[in-house]
């Protein structure tokens, strides 16, 4: 037997986060927002051009459920 057993120590806990979609106030309909294709990591604030599976900065897995209230905020 020449196979080696390699034990990977999980030293860093897996972070689960979500993308906060960027938006800007609509210029056409007051009080509404236009959503942009870019987004921000909820864990570290990394700004990405588009939502991807992992945050390239903090390695968070982007599968957490974001707060729905943040998308329907009224002001």
CA distance 75 to 73: 7
CA distances from 73 to 20, 22, 65 (A): 13, 13, 17
For Zn ion, give the closer residue by CB, 25 or 58: 58
Which residues of the chain form contacts with Zn ion (CB under 5 A)?
41, 43-44, 46, 55, 57-58, 60
Could you identify the residue written with the tokens 């800007």?
A: 24
To Zn ion, the closest distance from the beta carbon of 39 in angstroms equals: 11
Query: CB of 28: closest distance to Zn ion in angstroms?
Result: 32
Nearest residue (CB) to Zn ion, 32 versus 57: 57
């Amino acid at each position: 037997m020449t196979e080696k057993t390699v034990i990977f120590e999980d030293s860093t806990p897996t972070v689960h986060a979500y993308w906060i979609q960027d938006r800007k106030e609509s210029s056409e309909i007051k009080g509404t927002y236009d959503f942009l294709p870019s987004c921000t990591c909820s864990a570290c604030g990394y700004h990405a051009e588009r939502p991807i599976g992992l945050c390239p900065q903090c390695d968070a897995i982007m599968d957490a459920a974001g707060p729905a209230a943040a998308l329907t905020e009224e002001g």
